[in-house]
Amino acid sequence: MGDILNVSGLVTQLRNGTRIVDDISFGIRAGETFALLGESGCGKSMTALSLMRLLPDGVMHAGGAAQMEGVDLFGLREREMREVRGGRMAMIFQEPGLSLNPVLTVGQQIAEALALHQGLHGTAAQPRCAELLAQVGIPDAARRVAEYPFQFSGGMKQRVMIAMALAGQPKLLIADEPTTALDVTIQAQVLQLLRDAQDGSGMAMLLITHDLGVVAENAHRVGVMYAGQIVEQASRAQLFAEPLHPYTQKLFAALPDAARRNQPLAAIPGNVPPPGGITQGCRFAPRCDRAWALCSEQAPEWTVVGEGQGVRCHLYQEPGIRIQDSGVKGEERGHPSPACGRGAGGEGGSTLNPQSPLLQVSDLHVHFPIRKGVLQRTVGQVKAVDGVSLEIPRGRTLALVGESGCGKTTLGKALLQLIPPTAGSVHFAGRELTGLAVRELRTRRAAMQMVFQDPYASLNPKMRVAEILEEGMAALNIGNDSAARQTHIDTLLDQVGLARNAKWRYPHEFSGGQRQRIAIARALAVSPQLLICDEPTSALDVSVQAQILNLLKALQRELNLSYLFITHNLAVVEYIAHEVCVMYLGRIVERGTAEEVLRSPGHPYTQALLSAVPRIDGEGRSHLHDDGLG
């Protein structure tokens, strides 16, 4: 069977000649899903934009070919390309909220694609719009076709984007991180929707992701991308049975799970180099523990090591050489998720500390009034937190798990009294926090700090790191003078693994993982006893996530910190948590040790969460057959 898409030697570069996508080649057959896997900054999205010919200003196609069903995409005039784009080849973008026009109804936006590629106009397009929305699982589609994007949830917006993409009946669908910002259950629904659409039409799919679980359950073949190059390519079964490139091996080793909870994760040191940052030798050499002199002197060539399997690494230059001692054995690499029925061993299965809890919450309620009419009378209540009780001992981690909108973040803010509780009590270190005067509450709050989900949004872009870290200390009169605070800041930067001279830089000069380290240092600056971590790793690559998790566990051991870890990532829960509380619609529906909850969930909602977690065991879903595509 021939390829729907064939990419050969693709080069995309800046106008100064710096290559962003450097000589990559791959093909995708009808009905096949090809996954591009790698960290942020590797060039995955730029590859997709190159194929769609939607490159931003200052970036240009500089070489190579891309043929779709025998047609050279780069040889088409723009008018001809517009007929291909959105028709024969469609793309789902990472952030649907930014991709949908907020002033047009979703029906109008789908109708645009129908008019351009199917010749349906006006009222004739309306039934088809409703049919597409129903096809992607949006209930009451005939009514919702007239609604605007803001009236849809994040998962529903992503479904609308899929409906728009399917409107042109594409032969190739490019899905750029289609589930990154979604809860695990919504992620499972969206991925199933894409698989159903693929099964029904036989379209090819280019899936761009950094999630190995998503790759394991959806891809037929995989290309691992690093610093603008594909460094390994194999079938899904080959990749998960025996990853070849040291970078791929390290991605697997960085995944959190229960088996590694008593040891640090194998985080990859450093960051992906910027475009043009490494001009000689292997681009992964500065982060590779297997590199030798040749790796810094000569760029490795592409080496075919088996049928459909190749790698760009000097370790495989000699024919027949395989790296057996990869440090990633089958039982370590192929660990199943909590859905596979293995609980958290080690610390997670231990009993709670007998000492009195540091934080004790009893029957906490947070209600928001619903107001209507000219006089804004209260006509009802939104029960964001509805009777929650929990305890956190000193030096322990309680994970709060649930989907977006269930009240997790509201609860975290209510514990800090950033949102006043409607009822209930919050005891911290033996003192009641609810009802305290503002001045007394401020001094007590120093012992309870919050690390937010998006460090870039929570750090003042106009302040240097030193100013950010000193601000809280000055407000709470910590440190005798500025010199003493600067010494404390140096210690904080050492603790979170940043260079001391980093304190004179601004937030935009750091990577996402480094910014999260700064946010953690800011929380530690006032010597807290409890950190409330609100999705601190959800926006990070797996390698950066491993660095942050290692840091949090090291700080807990060193400083005897307690954590309330708010997340929907159950693999992270399995690795870091001692106890788990599962939250649904403002209430705790299940609680217990990590082992109890993840191994033997009792509540149907917990069972649904666990069943939706992508499995990384090399088996994938039953619909995947590597030999079934010709």
Dihedral pair phi/psi, residue 6, rounded to 5°: -130, 115
- Residue 176 included in any domain: no
Q: List, for residues 330-356, the tens digit of each pLDDT value.
A: 334 333 333 333 333 333 333 344 467
Q: Considering 339, 369, 396, which residue would you say is the last residue of a domain?
A: 339
Q: List, for residues 111-165, the tens digit of each pLDDT value.
A: 998 988 888 888 888 899 999 998 888 888 899 999 999 888 777 888 898 899 8
In a shared domain, residues 368 and 441? yes
pLDDT class of 327 with cuts at 50, 70, 90: very low
Instruction: Over range 191-202, report the average pLDDT.
Output: 89
Q: What is the dihedral of CA 591, 593, 595, 596, to 10 degrees?
A: -40
CATH of the domain at 401: 3.40.50.300
Dihedral pair phi/psi, residue 35, rounded to 5°: -100, 135
Identify the pLDDT of residue 187. Answer: 84
In a shared domain, residues 364 and 443? yes
- Residue 515 included in any domain: no
Instruction: Over range 80-102, report the average pLDDT.
Output: 87
CB 225 within 8 A of CB 219: no
Cβ contacts of 200 within 8 Å, gap of 6 or more: none
pTM, whole model, 2 decimals? 0.82
In a shared domain, residues 275 and 402? no
Return d(Cα 597, Cα 72) in angstroms, integer: 54
377 has pLDDT over 70 = yes
pLDDT class of 577 with cuts at 50, 70, 90: very high
- List 173's β-bridge partners, or say none: 90, 205
In a shared domain, residues 442 and 586? yes
In a shared domain, residues 283 and 430? no
- Residue 273 included in any domain: yes
pLDDT class of 321 with cuts at 50, 70, 90: low
Return d(Cα 444, Cα 433) in angstroms, integer: 8
Identify the pLDDT of residue 337. Answer: 35
pLDDT class of 379 with cuts at 50, 70, 90: confident
Chain-centre distance for alpha carbon 609: 17
- Residue 307 included in any domain: yes
305 has pLDDT over 70 = yes
- Residue 314 included in any domain: yes
Q: List, for residues 231-284, the tens digit of each pLDDT value.
A: 999 999 999 999 999 999 999 999 888 778 888 888 888 788 888 888 899 999
DSSP category for residue 614: P
Query: Measured in Å, how far apart are the chain's first and last C-alpha atoms?
Result: 6
In a shared domain, residues 274 and 413? no
Identify the pLDDT of residue 626. Answer: 44
Return d(Cα 376, Cα 517) in angstroms, integer: 44
In a shared domain, residues 314 and 384? no
- Residue 267 included in any domain: yes
619 has pLDDT over 70 = no
Q: List, for residues 492-511, the tens digit of each pLDDT value.
A: 998 888 889 989 999 988 87
In a shared domain, residues 365 and 331? no
In a shared domain, residues 322 and 368? no
In a shared domain, residues 289 and 425? no
583 has pLDDT over 80 = yes
Identify the pLDDT of residue 339. Answer: 34
In a shared domain, residues 443 and 363? yes
Identify the pLDDT of residue 139. Answer: 86
197 has pLDDT over 70 = yes
Q: Considering 278, 306, 339, which residue would you say is the last residue of a domain?
A: 339
CB 577 within 8 A of CB 412: no
Give alpha helix (H) positions in 242-317.
Answer: 246-253, 293-297
Mean pLDDT of the chain, nearest integer: 86
Q: Give the count of domains, the chain.
A: 2
326 has pLDDT over 90 = no
In a shared domain, residues 572 and 443? yes
Identify the pLDDT of residue 39. Answer: 87
| b/e code 542-551 from CB counts within 10 Å (16+ = b) | bbbbbbbbbb
- Residue 194 included in any domain: no
Q: Which domain, by its residues, includes 404?
A: 358-447+566-614
- Residue 22 included in any domain: no
